[in-house]
Amino acid sequence: MANQSGSVYGLTILSPIARSAHGSESHSLAIRQCLEKLPRGADSPFAKVSSTHMARLVVMDDVVYFGRPSREEHLRSKYLIFESNFDGDLDPYLRRLAVEVPQEVHAVWRHCEGYPGVENVDAFIRYMKRCQVETTFFFADVNDKTVQQTLQALQTQSAVTAFIEKNQGKPAEELQRAFVKFIDSLQSAPPPVPGIVQGRELADE
């Protein structure tokens, strides 16, 4: 399935942006302004739909003309591109978007042609799938770990590094005792938050 690599799904959606009385200019401008205001980091809607590894929203105004001898041509509509790399299957992901971050989805997609709203989740999913374009070739360097597993692993890596330095040269019994405490503390650590820079230097410990 070209859209998938391992357990990661590569979603590509091209939503035509609605035309208004003056062509689709004002809607695409509105989308851009909305995207400027969309929360980033831990407050991003994609942090909340936490199966998202990486995602982007791009307003594509037109195709590009590279010069002669190619012929010049233009798209009649602008498109909102939604490129997302997430864990699991498509339907559950689209459902999460509609159910968990309806305000943000609505703020962006209401400027798009044929958008039915988010209240009727099935209609929303159908609409998004109508705009989906098949990914021809999808590359995922790590395709068998979820977002949570990845964030957890990064946190563990940081903690392990600090542990190793702190316990250098300790005698065997002390080392073992410290290790047991360390494993326990790891297990009770709060889960890491997606979307923000983490990773503390050793000296901060």
Partner 1 sequence: MSKLDATDIQGFALRGYTFPLARFLFVRISDTKKGQAFVAELVSRLTTGEKWDEKHKPRTTVNVALTYPGLVALGLPQASLQGFPVEFVQGMKARGGILCDVGKNAPQHWDGVWQEGPVHVWLGIYAESSEELEQKCAELTALAERTGGAAIVGKQDAAALVIDGKPSRKEHFGYTDGFGNPDYLGVDRDTQPGQGKLAPDGKSWLPLATGELLLGYADEAGELPVAPVPHLLANNGTFMVYRKLHQNVATFRAYMKEKGKLYPGGEEKLKAKFVGRWRDGTPLELSPDHGDAAIVADNNRNVNFTYGGDADGARCPLSAHIRRANPRDAFGFHGGLTNRRRITRRGLTYGPYTPDGEPGDDKAEHGVIFMALNASIFRQFEFVQQQWIEYGNDARQGNDRDALLGNHEGKGKFVVPGTDDAANPPFICGGLPSFVELRGGDYFFIPSITALKMIGVGAVDPR
Partner 2 sequence: MAEKQGVMSNINGKQYAMNAISPMKPWKTWILRAFFFFLGHFPSAGRDLVNLSFIHFARWVIVRRNQFPRLSEHQPPDNLRYDYLLFFSNFNGTWNQYIDAFSAVLSRGLDAIWCWSEKFPGAAPVTPFKEYIAQGQFETDYYYTAYPHATTNDVKAAHRVTAALEALAQQRGKTAAEFEKAYRQFLVSVQGDLGATGEAPVGT
Stretch that binds partner 1, among 59-67, 93-101, 159-167, 180-188 (CB under 8 A): 159-167
Per CB under 8 A, 160 contacts partner 1: no
Minimum Å gap between C-beta 95 and partner 2 is 19
Count of residues of this chain found to bind partner 1 when the rule CB under 8 A is applied? 10
Minimum Å gap between C-beta 199 and partner 1 is 8
Closest to 199 measured CA to CA, from 144, 153, 148, 165: 153
**11 phi and psi angles, rounded to 5 deg:** -95, 130
Per CB under 8 A, 201 contacts partner 1: yes
Residue 75 binding partner per list partner 1, partner 2, none, with a CB distance cut-off of 5 to 8 Å that depends on partner kind: partner 2
Closest to 61 measured CA to CA, from 96, 102, 93, 17: 17
Find the helix packing angle between 121-130 and 90-100, rounded to 10°: 120
Per CB under 8 A, 171 contacts partner 1: no
Nearer to partner 1, 126 or 166 (CB): 166
Nearer to partner 1, 26 or 167 (CB): 167
Candidate list 70, 168, 187, 188; residue touching partner 1; CB under 8 A:
168
Stretch that binds partner 1, among 104-112, 120-128, 138-146, 158-166 (CB under 8 A): 158-166
Nearer to partner 1, 60 or 175 (CB): 175
Please, are residues 115 and 149 in contact by the beta-carbon 8 Å criterion? no
> Given its phi and psi angles, is residue 120 left (phi above 0), alpha (psi -120 to 50 degrees) or beta?
beta
Show the tokens assigned to 8. Answer: 């990661």
Cβ density class 117-152: b for 16+ within 10 Å, e for less = ebeebeebbebbeebbeebeebeeeebebbbeeebb
Return residues touching partner 1 (CB under 8 A).
161, 164-165, 168-169, 199, 201-204
